[in-house]
Amino acid sequence: MKYTVKKSANLLDTVLEMYHGVSKQKAKQIISKSVFFKNNRRLSNHPNEMLAPGDIIEQTKMDRGIKPVKMANRARPFAIYYEDEHLIAAFKPAGILSSFDRNRPKDNSFQKELQFFLNQRGEEKIRLWVIHQIDREVEGIMLFALSEDIQTKMIEQWHDSQMSYLALTENKPFEKQGVIENWLHENAQRKLIATPKEVANSKFAKTSFEYIKRYGENHLLELKIHNGRSKQIRVHLADLGCPVVGDRKYGADTLVLRQIRLALHFMELNHPVKGNLISLKYQPSIKFFNPSTAENELYKIL
């Protein structure tokens, strides 16, 4: 379905105009189950996404391409969110490296553990190729390719993928939503520092955030990174005065030993071979949202 925007409006109001007579609740359902393109470019599914007069909107049905999540158990110690002959997505717990690190040759990695499990599970030898990284301290969905060719294709189109994170923070931001933009560089203590202007060896970083709700003494935010830098969200939230719960390196309370409450919870991408849209969502455990005030909650990994 194609539609030309007549006046400045957000996506929700535009869908209400496109489907004249439907309720707001129904319009939100349409948005959640659709793929939108604005002037032939993929559009965010956020209801508040702004559109300008003359924008050409094309709506298609979302082909989620998801099989039921294979949750972890004794026989299968990995929660697998997607799997076919080209790609596999699984849950990476916090506290383990995403992939092999030459600087830490003795450290285990999620890539190695998942690859070992897959090879034990089947007769065919499998090798996993890393498409993206998640910080060691962060949990969430991690996607791998099953061949170097698929890895190359995914990396080439990765800028079209959508990813969002959930962060439980110690403070509430002043604004309900906003954008953090600055330059990140590493100091002599190997800690990332944010500066408003470019300095030697710095990299530009941009993060969008939206306040979701309060959880006890803490606050839940949803974040989207526009260019993936290591520890980007953690540094940006610290710079905002809202350190991630448990992130003692970047300003969180040091009195309690806690796992960092940051999770890559949503991923959406086009399949590099089949072309369908894959949409994956991970919901953190109740414990993620309710950190202990006394218990040692440091990482318990594979």
Question: In the listed set 229, 248, 263, which residue is the last one of a domain according to the structure?
Answer: 263
Quick one: tokens of 147?
């061949």
Q: Is there a contact between 2 and 56 (Cβ–Cβ < 8 Å)? A: yes
Residue 178 is assigned to a structural domain of this protein: yes
Q: Quick one: which of 274, 254, 8 has its CA closest to 153?
A: 274
pLDDT, tens digit, for every residue of 264-288?
999 999 999 988 889 898 889 999 9
pLDDT, tens digit, for every residue of 165-177?
999 999 999 999 9
Residue 155 contacts by C-beta under 8 Å, 6 or more apart in sequence? 131
Residue 273 is assigned to a structural domain of this protein: no
Task: Read off the CATH number of the domain in which 174 is found.
Answer: 3.30.2350.10
What confidence score (pLDDT) does residue 36 get?
Answer: 81
Torsion from C-alpha of 6, 7, 8, 11, nearest 10 degrees: -50
Q: Is there a contact between 11 and 46 (Cβ–Cβ < 8 Å)? A: yes
Q: Is there a contact between 223 and 208 (Cβ–Cβ < 8 Å)? A: yes
pLDDT, tens digit, for every residue of 208-255?
999 999 999 999 999 998 887 888 999 999 999 999 999 999 999 988
Task: Read off the CATH number of the domain in which 31 is found.
Answer: 3.10.290.10
pLDDT at 302 over 50: no
Strands 139-145 and 262-270: parallel
Q: How far apart are CA 205 and CA 226, in angstroms?
A: 7
pLDDT, tens digit, for every residue of 42-71?
776 778 888 889 988 888 766 544 456 777
What confidence score (pLDDT) does residue 137 get?
Answer: 92
Residue 48 is assigned to a structural domain of this protein: yes
Residue 199 is assigned to a structural domain of this protein: yes
What are the Cα distances from residue 199, in Å, to 35, 168, 189? 39, 30, 17
Residue 109 is assigned to a structural domain of this protein: no
Which residue reads 């003795």 in tokens? 106
Q: What pairs with residue 277 in β-bridges?
A: 270
| pLDDT greater at residue 102 or residue 257 | 257
Residue 59 contacts by C-beta under 8 Å, 6 or more apart in sequence? 1, 2, 3, 18, 30, 34, 35, 36, 37
pLDDT, tens digit, for every residue of 71-128?
777 667 889 999 999 999 999 999 999 998 777 767 789 999 999 999 988 767 889 9
| Residue 19 amino acid letter | Y
Quick one: tokens of 224?
């989207």
CA 14 to chain centroid, in Å, comes to 27
What confidence score (pLDDT) does residue 66 get?
Answer: 46
What confidence score (pLDDT) does residue 123 get?
Answer: 66
Residue 134 is assigned to a structural domain of this protein: no
**Domains in the chain, number:** 2
Residues for the chain: how many in total?
Answer: 302
Range of the domain at 7: 2-61
What are the Cα distances from residue 120, in Å, to 91, 128, 182? 18, 14, 45
Cut 0.85: pTM above it:
no
Residue 143 is assigned to a structural domain of this protein: no
Residue 100 is assigned to a structural domain of this protein: no
